[in-house]
């Protein structure tokens, strides 16, 4: 019996795929609805991601607000209609369009406001990506990637936008604070796609619509729309994604940070004292002003 337990524990340790997690519906007023995921729902296997909201916004919902210790990322899906107005204390006043990405590395602190333009329907992901302690006090910076600059892997049965990082020989944007891959993929009926997850990277996969099957070294998970799973860091390994019907998926991957942090809403610092200092700095206007 002791030998059997050792074998079972070894198999569990070698397993790379996490459980299937269903997002939590979240709505604010009549202009914002989301499918919400947080790092607590994945027991740490979402790292470096802290939160993902798959949302639709049709009306202004959030007042200007502060971020610190993280990157606040908006990834616009291609079926968004109209513009998403983005203003921040770095002086940017940008209208994001369908398929764009905006990466605000808030670090020591930055405030922003995002709202749909008149008549717009914004379909997107909002992601909070943790920063390691060594980057949390760096000056804030931002990265805007226009849809036209995003390379696409297109073949029979699949079309995958390489928004960040690299996959199958194509390289997307690489200017994020830490190395990160983001794939925005579409599968036809019977379509399949493979991505090689590099050594020491962890992945988070989400079914935006349709249903997909994830296969990692013979281990499988089926994701219905609105559900997600993870692939643990380890040796480089192939992630195979297949669909029996048309499906839309997102894959995010990066090296887990594995550091303790203190979370206060959209502020994620190394200690409670750092959070208090950041809030004080913001109150005193040290992060600049959002453009009028």
Is residue 14 a part of any domain in this protein?
A: no
In whole angstroms, give the CA distance from residue 127 to residue 274. Answer: 22
pLDDT score of 44 more than 80: yes
Phi-psi region of 136 (alpha: psi -120 to 50; beta: other; left: phi over 0): alpha
Q: SS3 breakdown of the chain: % helix, strand, coil, rounded to 5? A: 10, 50, 40
Domain at 185, CATH number = 2.60.120.10
Residue 73 shares a structural domain with residue 157: no
The answer to the question of residue 48 being in a domain is: yes
Is pLDDT of 163 > 80? yes
The pLDDT, as a whole number, for residue 162 is 98
Domain extent, residue 121, equals 23-149
In the chain, the percentage of residues whose pLDDT exceeds 70 is 95
27 and 143 both lie in a single domain: yes
The mean pLDDT of 132-151, rounded to a whole number, is: 96
Q: Are residues 163 and 95 in the same domain?
A: no
54 and 116 within one domain: yes
- Please tell me the total count of domains within the chain: 2
With bands split at pLDDT 50, 70 and 90, how would you rate the model's confidence at 287?
confident
Asked if residue 145 and residue 32 are part of one domain, the reply reads yes
Same domain, 44 and 144: yes
pLDDT over threshold 90, residue 288 = no
> What gap in Å lies between CA 18 and CA 160, rounded to an integer?
23
**Cis amide leading into 48 (omega within 30):** yes
- Quickly tell me which residue has 């809030």 as its tokens: 279
Query: Rounded distance, CA 109 to CA 115, Å?
Result: 20
Quick one: pLDDT band at residue 12, thresholds 50, 70, 90? very low
Question: Residues 177, 197: one domain?
Answer: yes
Query: For residues 27 and 193, what is the distance between their CA atoms, to the nearest angstrom?
Result: 33
272 part of a folded domain: no
> What is the distance between the alpha carbons of residues 76 and 73, in angstroms, rounded to a whole number?
10
Range of lowest pLDDT (23-32, 86-95, 177-186, 281-290)? 281-290
User: What pLDDT, on a 0 to 100 scale, did the predictor assign at position 3?
Assistant: 38
Contact 276, 288 (CB under 8 A): no
Q: Mean of the per-residue pLDDT values for the chain?
A: 92
- Of 118, 149, 180, the last residue of a domain is 149
Q: Pick the last residue of a domain from 127, 149, 171.
A: 149
Of the two residues 51 and 290, the one the predictor is more confident about is 51
Which residues make Cβ contacts (< 8 Å) with residue 52, sequence separation at least 6? 36, 37, 125, 126, 127, 128, 204, 206, 228, 252
Q: Considering 98, 115, 149, which residue would you say is the last residue of a domain?
A: 149
- Kindly state whether residue 11 falls inside one of the protein's structural domains: no
pLDDT above 90 coverage of the chain, percent:
85
Look at residue 80 and tell me whether its pLDDT is greater than 70.
Answer: yes
Same domain for 164 and 63: no
Q: What is the pLDDT of residues 200-224, one digit of tens each?
A: 999 999 999 999 999 999 999 999 9
């Amino acid at each position: 019996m002791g030998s059997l337990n050792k074998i079972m524990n070894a198999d569990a340790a070698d397993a790379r795929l996490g459980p299937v997690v269903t997002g939590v519906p979240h709505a604010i007023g009549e202009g914002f609805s989301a499918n919400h995921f947080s790092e607590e729902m994945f027991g740490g296997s979402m790292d470096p991601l802290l939160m993902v909201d798959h949302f639709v916004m049709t009306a202004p919902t959030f007042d200007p607000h502060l971020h610190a210790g993280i990157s606040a990322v908006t990834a616009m899906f291609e079926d968004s209609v109209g513009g998403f107005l983005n203003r921040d204390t770095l002086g940017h006043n940008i209208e994001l369009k369908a398929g764009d990405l905006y990466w605000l590395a808030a670090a020591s602190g930055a405030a922003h406001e995002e709202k749909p333009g008149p008549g717009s329907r914004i379909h997107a992901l909002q992601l909070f990506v943790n920063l390691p302690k060594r980057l949390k006090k760096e000056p804030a910076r931002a990265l805007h990637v226009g849809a036209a600059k995003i390379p696409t892997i297109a073949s029979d049965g699949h079309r995958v936008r390489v928004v960040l990082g690299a996959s199958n020989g194509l390289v997307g944007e690489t200017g994020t604070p830490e190395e990160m891959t983001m794939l925005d993929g579409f599968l036809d009926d019977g379509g399949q796609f493979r991505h090689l997850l590099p050594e020491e990277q962890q992945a988070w996969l989400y079914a935006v619509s349709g249903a997909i099957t994830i296969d990692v070294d013979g281990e499988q998970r089926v994701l219905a729309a609105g559900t997600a799973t993870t692939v643990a860091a380890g040796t480089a390994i192939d992630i195979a994604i297949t669909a029996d019907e048309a499906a839309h998926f997102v894959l995010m991957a990066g090296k887990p940070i594995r550091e303790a942090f203190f979370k206060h809403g959209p502020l994620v610092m190394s200690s409670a004292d750092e959070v208090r200092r950041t809030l004080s700095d913001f109150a005193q206007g040290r992060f600049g002003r959002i453009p009028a």
